[in-house]
């Protein structure tokens, strides 16, 4: 094989690999892909009835940018492995009560702390300064079909305040 022929083969192979990788990323980034694993189907179905049904899964489950996408896809490969080896955690849970996850929420809801009356409600500066994360109150927002179409119950306040009256501690 000539050097020129080898170079052509390498270039064509590289381009084919890029096309396959891009197509795979595109396909696996669609919400409909998430429900192809039986263990994810209930989460997918709950998402379809939620107030976030028009938000792509990656918007909440991936950090922004190429690095965030690559990390998410690598983690996804690990999840595919766990699916086929039947070694995934039951029940499936996510760690959403983190600053990183809240940052994903705030990409769309960045104005939540500036809305009229925010100082009086749960989105007040004191909660933010204490490091409270969005999922502390909004954990079931998308994937719990019983709670995903309404705001969190004031009963969540009782866990910390002992009352549903926001003015009392």
Q: Superfamily assignment of 3-85 in CATH?
A: Di-heme elbow motif domain (1.10.3820.10)
Q: How much is the CA Rg of the chain, to the nearest whole Å? A: 21
Across 47-51, 73-77, 156-160, 162-166, least confident range: 162-166
Whether the Cβ atoms of residue 39 and residue 92 lie closer than 8 Å to each other: yes
Within 8 A by CB and 6+ apart from 41, the residues are 35
- For residue 78, pLDDT beyond 90: yes
Per-residue pLDDT reduced to its tens digit, 94-116: 788 888 889 999 999 988 888 88
Give the CA count within 13 Å in the CB-facing half-sphere of 158: 6
Range from 10-14, 56-60, 143-147 that averages highest in pLDDT: 10-14
Query: How large a percentage of the chain has pLDDT more than 90?
Result: 44
Domain ranges in the chain with CATH number 1.10.3820.10: 3-85
């Amino acid at each position: 094989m000539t050097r020129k022929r080898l170079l052509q083969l390498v270039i064509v192979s590289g381009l084919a690999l890029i096309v396959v990788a891009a197509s795979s990323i595109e396909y696996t980034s669609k919400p409909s892909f998430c429900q192809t694993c039986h263990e994810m189907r209930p989460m997918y179905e709950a998402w379809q009835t939620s107030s976030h049904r028009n938000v792509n899964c990656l918007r909440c489950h991936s950090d922004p940018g190429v690095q965030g996408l690559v990390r998410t896809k690598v983690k996804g490969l690990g999840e595919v492995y766990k699916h086929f080896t039947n070694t995934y955690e039951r029940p499936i849970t996510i760690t959403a009560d983190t600053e990183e996850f809240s940052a994903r929420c705030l990409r769309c809801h960045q104005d939540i702390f500036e809305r009229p009356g925010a100082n009086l409600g749960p989105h007040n500066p004191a909660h933010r300064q204490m490091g409270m994360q969005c999922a502390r109150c909004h954990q079931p927002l998308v994937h719990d079909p019983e709670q995903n179409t309404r705001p969190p119950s004031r009963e969540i306040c009782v866990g910390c305040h002992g009352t549903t009256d926001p003015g009392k501690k």
